[in-house]
Structure formats: structure tokens, C-alpha cells
Copies of this chain bind each other. A is one copy, B any other.
Amino acid sequence: MAKTNPGRFFEDYKLGQVIAHAVPRTLSGGERALYHALYPARHALYSSDDFARACGLPAAPLDDMIAFHTVFGKTVPDVSLNAVANLGYAEGRFLMPVYPGDTLRSESEVIGLKQNSNGKSGVVYVRTRGLNQRAEVVLEYMRWVMVRKRDPEAAAPDTVIPALADVVDPGDLMIPPGLDFSGYDFTLAGEPHRWGDYEPGETIDHVDGVTIEEAEHMIATRLWQNTAKVHFDATFRPDGQRLIYGGHVISMARALSFNGLANAQMIVGLNGGAHANPCFSGDTVKAWSEVLDKAETDAPGVGAIRLRLVAVKGDAEPFALKGTDGKYSPDVLLDLDYWALMPR
């Protein structure tokens, strides 16, 4: 067993350490077809080369979450194999669209460490970057996870907790060069609602639901080369259930949000996210959104909108997020906070 990867334990991480993650991946139209078959993804900019060209891009990029999952998946063997919990995301920015033919790899820098008071585990903060074949950063985000110690007696590192912004400043969002929504075709995009039609505080029930299947979440999770065994091996958990990769819920909810947010085309910022409760096969996932903020941009016809995207399961009433105790309701699966670009 000496040659298999045991994963890193808390004491294996050092502040400033940069981990180059393995297995670069060339993406093609195949990944897009699969993504659109696994999720009801319909944002026109990512579906049609012609629509994308009319918006100033060279072709339809791959869905932003394809880039995210590909970059994230590569970090799993190095960051989360011995993770007890995925605690949070912050300061995520999508810096450059990813196109079929691009090759992505990932690297993570350790930016914070804090041993837990029980001495058995600690929190590791990383800044993960996805790079393309030209070594351009296409995506970066901060993430923190709780990781077990190999040896509870190992000395604790100095505690360093990075200062992380609650929200990406809209001035820091990257707008793809050339993006121009001034001639945006609302009919082909599927809905008439523009940036000016949404107001902070507004909530949208996306109505549709999808019942989750084992085969689908495993196909999706493997596609990103995410190999955490809890997603694939029904004998791993005592209850015989395979835990569904949180990113599967993110993509399902984002795709469902088309119905009411068809024009929230490009994801450019990831302010934060919590996988509030686990998701299992058989759950029926629905989604609702809340407009949190809006900002102007310099690109022609392009506005930024900050959205809360909530995935729930079963018969959960929309718009209920937390109980009076401040805890997420048991039906809430995901609470995601992101910036998207919309035609003004």
C-alpha cells in the first residue's frame, strides 16, 4: 500500500507551501455535451457559438462551473482526501473564459493554518488557481477545510487566519475582453428580464425540480476527476449511501435558476458558499434565488448582479433558509453567493 496516495494530514501543510496538483485535463465539446446532459443548463452564451459571437466572444465558452469543477477536482487528492468538512469558499474570481481545446491544471497555496483545540484536526486555508495551457490563471478561489491530523501529538503550527473578504468587490470582477451585451438577443436567450428589472431583496422561485440518481452524480463527479471515495463506494459509509459531491448540487441549482435568471449569463465571482446539508440519491432538488446587490461595469451593455442561490430538497417552502436558532433548515442543501454578468 506504500505506493497509493494516503492524502495529506493537517501536519503536512506548511504556510506558504504551493502544491501543484496532478493530471492536467484537455477539455472538448464532449465535456460540454455531458454537462448539458447532466444538468438542465441552457444559458445561451454557453450553448451557441453564434450567440457568443454576437456578444463579442470568439465562441461559446465552456460553462463556468465546468472550469470550476475541473480545477476543484484536481485539488481533492491533495487537499480534501482526509478532510472532515469543507468549511467555506471566498474571493472566487473567474478570470478568463475556458474554451474547448483548453488544457487546465491547478495549484494551491497554503495561506492559513489553525489547529483545533481538540488537537485532532485543524483548518487549512488554501488559495487555489486554475491555469490554462498558456499558464494564464482562468480561475482562483480561497477555500478552507478541516483536515485530520495523522498524529494527534504532532506540534501545532502557528495560527494564521487569512483576512478574507465577505464579497468580491465588483471593481475586481474580470469582464472578458470584448464582451458586449448592447445588441443582446433576449428572445434567443429565453427571457426578457434585464439587469434593470432586478432589485436587491427580490426573490425568485425557480419552480422546477430534479430527482437525483446515483448514476448521474457519479458520472458528473468522475468527469472532474474528483475521486473522493465517499461519492462512489456504497460500502464506505455505515448507512450505505453515497454522499453526493457538493458541486453536483451547485451545478444543478445553477441550471435550474435559468427559469427566472436566464440572462444571468456569466459567473464571474464566487463570494461564498456553504453545503448546508448532505444530498443523497432520491432527493428532489429545487432552487430559489435572492438578489443581493447590483453593480455597473465598464463593458457595453453589461451589468453585474450579486445573487444568493439556494438549493433545497423535497417539499421545502421557498425562501426559508435558516431557523430561529440561526442554523440552516434541514431541507437546505446549498447556500451560494455569486456575481453574474447580465445585459442592462
Whether A24 pairs with B44 at a CB distance below 8 angstroms is yes
User: What residues of chain B lie closer than 8 Å to A30, measured between beta carbons?
Assistant: 28-34
* Copies per complex of this chain: 3
Residues in B with CB closer than 8 Å to A242 are 211
A56 at the interface (CB under 8 A from B): no
Evaluate contact between A48 and B204: CB separation under 8 angstroms: no
A107 to chain B, nearest CB (A): 10
CB distance from A101 to the nearest CB of B (A): 8
Chain B nearest CB, measured from A73 CB (Å) = 10
Asked if residues A34 and B37 are in contact (CB atoms below 8 Å), the reply is yes
**Which chain B residue has the least Cβ–Cβ distance from A228?**
B208
22 A-B residue pairs with CB within 8 Å = A1-B205, A4-B205, A22-B42, A22-B191, A23-B188, A23-B189, A24-B44, A25-B47, A26-B47, A30-B31, A33-B34, A38-B219, A40-B232, A42-B225, A48-B103, A207-B229, A209-B233, A210-B232, A211-B232, A211-B233, A211-B235, A234-B284
Residue A327 is within 8 A (CB to CB) of chain B in the complex: no
Question: Closest chain B residue to A193 by CB distance?
Answer: B3
Chain B residues near A40 (CB-CB < 8 A): 222, 225, 227, 232
CB contacts under 8 Å to B, within A180-200, are: 187-191, 193, 197
Report B-chain residues with C-beta under 8 Å of the C-beta of A33: 28, 30-31, 33-34, 223
Q: Is A51 engaged at the interface, CB distance under 8 Å to the other chain?
A: yes
A260 within 8 A of B: yes
Residue A133 is within 8 A (CB to CB) of chain B in the complex: yes
Q: How far is the CB of A203 from chain B (nearest CB, A)?
A: 9
Q: For A30, A50, A227, which residue has the most chain B Cβ atoms within 10 angstroms?
A: A30
**Pairwise interchain contact A5-B259, C-beta atoms closer than 8 A:** yes
Interface residues of A, count at CB 8 A: 76
- CA of A211 to CA of B47, assembled, Å: 31
| A65 touches B (CB below 8 Å) | no
Instruction: Quote the shortest CB–CB distance from A192 to chain B (angstroms).
Output: 9
Task: Say which residue of B4, B42, B188 sits within 8 Å of A259 (CB atoms).
Answer: B4
Distance of A317 from chain B, by nearest CB (Å): 13
Asked if A110 is at the interface of the complex by the 8 Å CB criterion, the answer is: no
Q: Nearest CB to that of A318 among chain B residues?
A: B1
- Closest CB-CB distance, A342 to chain B, in whole Å? 12
- In the complex, are the beta carbons of B49 and A103 less than 8 A apart? yes
Q: What's the Cα separation between A293 and B211 when bound, in Å?
A: 43
Bound-state CA distance A195–B299 (Å) is 54
Q: Once the chains are docked, how many angstroms separate the CA of A189 from the CA of B31?
A: 21
A109 sits at the interface (CB 8 A): no
CA distance A34 to B216 in the complex (A): 12
Tell me the complex Cα distance, A247–B256, Å.
Answer: 22
